[in-house]
Amino acid sequence: MRLKLSILFFFIQFLSFGIPFKNEVFRKSVKTVFIENYGSDSDFPLIELNSSQRLTLHFDEISKSAKTFEYSFIKCTSEWEADEEVFPHDYMDGLESDLITDFNFSENTAVDYIHYSVSFPNNNIEFKLSGNYIVLIKDQDNKEIILTRKFYISESKVSVIPTPKTPVEFDYRFTHQIINFNVNYELIDSDNPIGEFKAVVIQNGRYDNQKTDLKPQFVRGKELIFSDEIQNTFEGTNEYRIIDFRDIKLRGLGVSDIFYKDSIYHVIPNLDQKRAYLKYKNKSDHNGKFFIQTKPRVGDPNLTSDYAYVHFRLKRKIPLDSSTVFLLGGFTGNETKRENQMVYKDSLEHYESHILMKQGVYDYAYAYRKIGNRSLKWEDTDGSHFQTENNYTILVYFKGFNDQTESLIGVKIFTFQ
């Protein structure tokens, strides 16, 4: 009862006090949450308003019995606070909430789980407004919130032209990237473009270091120039590490050992060495993504992939001063979470973390956060280089003088370097 009340209070806080939503899971038995993008070449959780595109939310619950889950949507501001200026009937047609009816039991796995999925928009729910959205999943029996997940609905009303560059300043020249860009808004009437437009830039789907509430530095005709080389500067980071345990019985890339104990598989990745201040090495990665797969492939990998405890270790003779180290990647929802926090073991001289993960291929990195800081840094763990290939997403928002809510009027996804 105390847990249910605390989660309810947590949700009320979001709606009442402007606390931003995150990609969160509130039930320990729920795992492997991701949004799949149909009708698009990108895996970014984005669809075009009034198009045939749709998204599908997937998640597992470690359980032998199925639950009744319901889903609903909350429109948010560009900074992921619940938009208090609109109600569900303003931004949706159809039902305000509905039940998840698509679920299947795992097949021939050591760990029993049930896989749930729901696609949207659908015959029961259509969206009327562009912007940032949260899909919220609740247990219908006790109304407990299970998870929240971010996604975007956009309109194509402006064109976005990236003008990325590497810094000139010596302190950032070899470790950072600058993402400047221009926005052509010929199709929009605005008497106050500096005040009515804003932008957000996201690197590799990460939310810890996103640049929010960016304003144009100046206007040139019908073109907005975003060229703030302080605000628009990102740590270049490094190529992600990769672990491949699609085959649960043979060692794949990045795997030192696999064994079965206490009715579950255990995967031991290679002992990772810190890569801070080493020379950049160009190697192929997936910019933080993960893929649920088995090898050899049998049936639907969402149902036939097994779960294993993965025991990550990062070698370091002494812990980072006044810092917390996290595992980072798409499998964490690109958020900093307590379950992905590393613990330093003095006797072993390494950081370690033990995470239940589903069979597949995962990009991951070690990043750290100094006390008092919001964003994660890579420089003292995995290193940071201006040459690193990164995916960037530029999102442009508009709210005119008479508009009730922000609209997401343009998106540009591109690869730098």
Q: What topology does CATH give the domain 2-154?
A: Immunoglobulin-like (2.60.40)
| Backbone torsion region of residue 389, taken as left when φ is above 0, otherwise alpha when ψ lies between -120 and 50, otherwise beta | beta
Q: Residue 222 gets which letter from DSSP? A: T
Map out the domains of the chain as residue ranges: 2-154, 159-236+390-416, 241-370
Q: How far is CA 261 from the centre of its chain?
A: 32
Pull the structure tokens for residue 401: 């003088």
Give the Cβ contact number of residue 174 at 10 Å: 14
Question: 247 with 234: CB under 8 angstroms?
Answer: no
Topology classification of domain 159-236+390-416: Immunoglobulin-like (2.60.40)
Please say whether the beta carbons of 206 and 334 come within 8 A.
yes
pTM comes to 0.93
Distance separating alpha carbons of residues 313 and 302, to the nearest angstrom: 27
Judge whether 2-154 and 159-236+390-416 match in fold: yes
Interior angle at CA 72, CA 70 and CA 75, nearest 5: 165
Report whether the peptide linkage leading into residue 121 is cis, meaning its omega lies within 30 degrees of zero: yes
Residue 35 CA from chain centroid, whole number: 10
Mapped to the 3 state alphabet, what secondary structure does 34-91 carry?
EEEEECCCCCCCEEECCCCCEEEEEEEECCCCCCCEEEEEEEECCCCCECCCCCHHHH
**Cα–Cα distance measured from residue 62 to residue 28, given in angstroms and rounded to the nearest whole number:** 9
What CA–CA distance (Å, rounded) separates 315 from 381?
Answer: 10
Tens digit of pLDDT per residue, the chain (417 long)? 444 444 444 455 455 457 899 999 999 999 999 999 986 667 899 999 999 999 999 999 999 999 999 999 999 999 999 999 999 999 999 999 999 999 999 999 999 999 999 999 999 999 999 999 999 999 999 999 999 999 999 999 999 999 999 999 998 999 999 999 999 999 999 999 999 999 999 999 999 999 999 999 999 999 999 999 899 999 999 999 999 999 998 999 999 999 999 999 999 999 999 999 999 999 999 999 999 999 999 899 999 999 999 999 999 999 999 999 999 999 999 998 888 999 999 999 999 999 999 999 999 999 999 988 888 999 999 999 999 999 999 999 999 999 999 999 999 999 998
Please tell me the distance from the alpha carbon of residue 274 to that of residue 277, in angstroms, as a whole number. 9
CA dist., res. 318 & res. 4, Å (int): 40
